[in-house]
Amino acid sequence: MKKPFYKRITFYRYLSLTLFFLLIVINPILIHKYGITFIQGWYQSFAFGNLFIVSPLEGLESILTSRSIYLTTIIGMLLPIIIALLLGRVFCSWACPINFLSMLTDKILGIFSQKLKYNRNLITLPRYILWFALITELILTLIIGYPLYVWWSPQALVGREIMLYVFYKTLTIELIIVFVVLFMNLLTRRFFCRYLCPLGALLALLGKDRKLVIKYNPNLCVNCKLCDSRCPMNIKPSQGESMSIYCWNCFECKDVCPKGALEIKWGDIKEFKKENEKLVLVPKENII
């Protein structure tokens, strides 16, 4: 039986994505119209009063290009890094404006077909492409001597374009990058997030041994594959891949699992994997 919306984690994730998106929409209006400057910036660097937060990738690129380590940059990177170490790539699944716009794309496509909403995989690439995206980004940054992701980051472009429109009623040509990323979603669900986002790759790497885990219990699994079909990142929770580096803890798989084979856990991900290796598997036909 389908859970009521208020019992589904996905509902709260959608709410979180919406609120984080509204923040970068409303904030420039508050600054421009009312002079309220307590919050400044967008999801590249943010200032909440005296608290300065900077994206780990932009901070790393700044260090690489300047050949200097500034205390303000290190302090600004600390909170996102700690969150990634503990919770994994949750910025991507719970706060990223590109994921919010992608969610809207899903909803629009879902009006026409549930298959279009969840099972778009017209182009499938090897997962390790994500690491090449990160390495290429950093190498080009070093060669050019300019923090590239500061310029072309789709997440930052959304905030910058909103700010430009509110203040100057204009948009820049770079907005095309955002539309290209969203167009990719029509071909393959979360194509950019899966394969091309260097920030997502860095956060995934930091969250490899995260404490918040979707633990798979093979003894409860009935092999219905619902979790696999719903996963935006095209991993296979039914094979334990929810504990892999590629999982971004969106919990869609947990919501649709009919037997509770996927459970949210806090602890040592390596221990959870060892526990699964010791489990005595129950034949699927014996599970009701």
Domains and CATH numbers, the chain: 5-206 (no CATH), 212-286 (3.30.70)
Over the stretch 135-168, which tens digit does the pLDDT of each residue have?
999 999 999 999 999 999 999 999 999 999 999 9
pTM of the model: 0.93
Q: Is the Cα dihedral 19, 22, 23, 24 positive or negative? A: positive
Q: How confident is the model at residue 2 (pLDDT cuts 50, 70, 90)?
A: low
**Three-state DSSP class for residue 209:** coil
User: pLDDT, tens digit, for every residue of 217-240?
Assistant: 999 999 999 999 999 999 999 999
Residue 263 CA to residue 288 CA, distance in Å, equals 18
Does an H or E element contain 163, and which? helix 154-168
Q: 249 falls in which pLDDT band (50, 70, 90)?
A: very high
Euclidean distance between CA atoms 151 and 119, whole angstroms: 32
Burial classification of residue 154, based on how many CB atoms lie within 10 Å of its CB (0-12 exposed, 13-18 middle, 19 or more buried): buried
pLDDT at 283 over 50: no
Say if residues 215 and 266 touch (Cβ distance below 8 Å): no
194 near 130, Cβ under 8 Å? yes
Residues 224, 225, 227, CA angle at the centre, nearest 5°?
Answer: 120
The Cα–Cα gap between 244 and 235 comes to 9
* Average model confidence (pLDDT) across the chain: 91
Question: Model confidence at 1, in pLDDT bands (50, 70, 90)?
Answer: low
User: What is the pLDDT at residue 118?
Assistant: 84
Give the model's pLDDT for residue 287. 37
Q: What is the pLDDT of residue 165?
A: 96
In the structure, what pLDDT confidence band is assigned to residue 4 with cuts at 50, 70 and 90? Answer: confident
pLDDT digits (tens, 9 = 90+) for 162-189: 999 999 999 999 999 999 999 999 899 9
271 — pLDDT class (breaks 50, 70, 90): very high
